[in-house]
């Protein structure tokens, strides 16, 4: 049996709770690596909860 990937383990962990859904395993951040070595990490537009003032 082969080892599960990080994404497979993450999905399993986030969807095994009794009331969990596929939406719980949706990515919450996006990562963009640019050619100059800069890595940009943003909250995904699809994230259910976002940081900041909710007003």
CB 33 within 8 A of CB 41: no
Whole-prediction pTM: 0.55
- Span 10-39, mean pLDDT? 90
Dihedral sign from CA coordinates of 9, 13, 18, 23: negative
Residues 6+ apart with CB under 8 A from 13: none
- Span 18-44, mean pLDDT? 90
53 versus 21: which is more confidently predicted? 21
pLDDT of residue 46: 77
pLDDT of residue 37: 94
Q: From CA 50, how far away is CA 17, in angstroms rounded?
A: 22
């Amino acid at each position: 049996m082969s080892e599960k990937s990080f994404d497979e383990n993450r999905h399993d962990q986030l969807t095994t709770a009794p009331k969990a859904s596929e939406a719980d395993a949706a990515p919450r951040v996006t990562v963009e690596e640019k050619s100059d070595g800069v890595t940009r990490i943003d909250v995904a537009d699809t994230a259910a909860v976002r940081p900041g003032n909710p007003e």
